[in-house]
Structure 1
Amino acid sequence: MTLNEQQRALYESILVQTRQELSELDRQIEEELAKVKERLAELQNAKKASRQMYDAACLRLGISNELAAEEEAEGGM
């Protein structure tokens, strides 16, 4: 089936519009991913700092570090 000029113009317009929408969605996805990556880095740094404090407290108290033992057990599986 052949398209008349009006139909062809409509579909070409749809192509342009949806291409722009797809580009905008890709941009939004990248923006959200950047936010998530930044937040994950913040959380990982906070976890690392807390872990260092936990390790130091165990050392100062002279008690075994249960977290270190758990990690060793998990790594040994």
Structure 2
Amino acid sequence: MGVLNDEQKKFYEETLKHVKNEIADIDNQIEEELARVKQKLAELQKAKKAALQVYAGACARLGIENDLAGEEESEEFEG
């Protein structure tokens, strides 16, 4: 490709500027989505932990082994 004239150079400079802004917008959207996913995961982990505690209590009241006892321990390591 040869030397660009002023009009071509301006076109490519504007293209760079617009695409750079588009990339920044996409990066922002990615960060927002990640934040939402992290929030949802935290909520689900909290709900699971509460459910596991209820399950453990029911097992204790029934005098049976808690077959999900390992789940409680894995929750502590993940959270």
Alignment of 1:18-37 (within 5 A): 18-37=19-38
Query: Which amino acid is the alignment partner of residue 41 of structure 1?
Result: A
The answer for the alignment partner of 2:48 in structure 1 is 47
Cα displacement (A) at 1:18: 0.3
Consecutive unaligned residues of structure 1, counting only runs of 5 or more, are none
Shift of 1:66: 1.2
Structure 2 segments unaligned to the other structure (5+ residues)? 75-79
Cα distance per residue 1:34-57 (max 9 Å; x no partner)? 000000000000000000000011
Whole-Å separation in 1 of the counterparts to 2:30 and 2:67: 40
Whole-Å Cα distance in 2 between the matches of residues 28 and 46 of structure 1? 27
User: Runs in 1 of length 4+ with deviation above 3 angstroms?
Assistant: none
Residue 61 of structure 1 corresponds to which residue in structure 2?
Answer: 62
Q: How far, CA to CA, are the matches of 2:66 and 2:28 in structure 1?
A: 45
Question: What is the number of residues matched between the two proteins?
Answer: 71
